[in-house]
Homo-oligomer: A and B are copies of this chain.
């Protein structure tokens, strides 16, 4: 087992080793670029003179995929969920790389700052350092500060390479989260949501309201100086429930067909939709800077209208479109049509100010294998799209982990925030188990609702992107996601085995 870890670390070392060497290469590339007009004689590589090289991006993809694999393996060895392994290995790799001063890791950890800097440089036509002085505070720009390191790397001879590599990683991770939510949508059909009915709805609503109220109170108590926007964003992040993690735990325990599993999955699906509406509302509030009842109404209505019309008419539209597209493309329609639909709905959602993931999720909800029953070939739509999701979604989780700066925990505020958020997150969800009904194991339902998973991370990252969630609050939220995800498999297994005899094959 250790051999495996060592072989992967070796690959990591090769990657890290590239960077010192690449400085020398880039020096030559740089020379070549300065004489671009007659660059043919100067170029080192086939691609280096006139193009950004693509092969470092390939290596990056291979290494991140390998690192994610190692994280999943470690998590599974310790009987934890895969998502947790990807997050934690991201945290470990990100902080080790940051501590070693590897430029790419420094850039990735400050992804939230690197992106606006990039835009500022292009929009103003200024030098990177000038643009940075516009964006960052004097403290951040001081010698040794995070912003000054960022500027140093971006303006260094390897700057374009690192910008390209960071951008590529960001793009693949965004693609991954779109594909993930699309798959979650695919796996939770509308029928199943309706079957579990009112009980799941009650659990879902309480599971959103309780952590929200508790989150608001915690925010007011621990962050009294922050605006109400910050409190709302924080509370909203704690509302999320992760369908993926919950479903995975029940599947791992072979208990997907129990009453508890159905109530939790139904509630989690409704929670996802509620969470996305809350996200829209919260982002709207963050954008206007104040709580505007009219704005909340407008955005809620827009979310419900979009999701409602997609869910109402989407299925029929798809039934009408699939045969048309099938005449266009018989062989690959099962792969290409769902993806094109997911991407289009994600774009439409974004165009009406919703998060793109809302559109991808909706696309997944309205599509089913039924739509392709007349298309030849035995492969299912899901089996065609799953490989794409399996490649790109882990990149999102690893990248999320890599943005957690462990140094921020040296700040006692962050430490206590993480502790308080985790407590609120767990208590808030346990409460909703009470509404599961007498014939259901309420503890199991409550515990099954605890993991925040990807939806919580998406909330936190959007909040960070908007500048609402500060670095330390973001780190605390990511740790909350990690803790809630970590305790779920353990506590849920205990809870399920507490009441009944089950073969212990996990």
Which residues of A are interface residues toward B (Cβ below 8 A)?
Answer: 1, 3-4, 7, 11, 30, 33-34, 36-37, 39-41, 43-47, 49-59, 61-62, 65-66, 69-70, 72-73, 112, 115-116, 118-123, 125-129, 134-135, 137, 154-155, 157, 159-160, 163-164, 167-168, 171, 174-175, 178, 229, 283, 286-289, 324-325, 327-329, 332, 335-336, 339-340, 343-344, 346-347, 349-351, 353, 355-356, 379, 383-385, 387-388, 390-391, 462, 465-468
Contacts and interface: CB of A to CB of B under 8 A. Distances in A.
A212 B101 CA distance: 49
Q: How many copies does the complex hold?
A: 2
Contact of A119 (B7, B160, B391, B465): B160
A479 B128 CA distance: 42
15 contacts: A36-B120, A40-B287, A40-B466, A46-B283, A47-B462, A55-B351, A59-B343, A65-B343, A69-B325, A69-B336, A73-B329, A123-B159, A335-B390, A336-B391, A379-B383
Contacts of A55: 346-347, 349-351, 356
A154 B122 contact: yes
Contacts of A1: 327
A66 B160 contact: no
**Cβ-closest 7 pairs across A and B:** A55-B350, A62-B343, A125-B127, A41-B289, A59-B347, A58-B343, A122-B160
A164 to B, nearest CB: 7
A289 B40 contact: yes
Contacts of A324: 3-4, 7
Given A43-B287, A45-B350, 14 more contacts: A3-B324, A4-B327, A36-B120, A40-B467, A41-B288, A46-B465, A46-B466, A55-B349, A58-B343, A59-B344, A66-B340, A69-B332, A72-B328, A387-B387
A343 B59 CA distance: 6
A430 B349 CA distance: 54
Contact of A332 (B33, B41, B340, B390): B390
Contacts of A125: 127-129, 155
Main secondary structure of the interface of A (DSSP, over half): helix
A73 B288 CA distance: 47
B33 A116 contact: yes
In the complex, which of the residues A33, A46, A134, A344 has the most CB atoms of chain B within 10 Å of its own CB atom?
Answer: A46
A69 B328 contact: yes
Given A157-B123, A350-B55, A340 B62 contact: yes
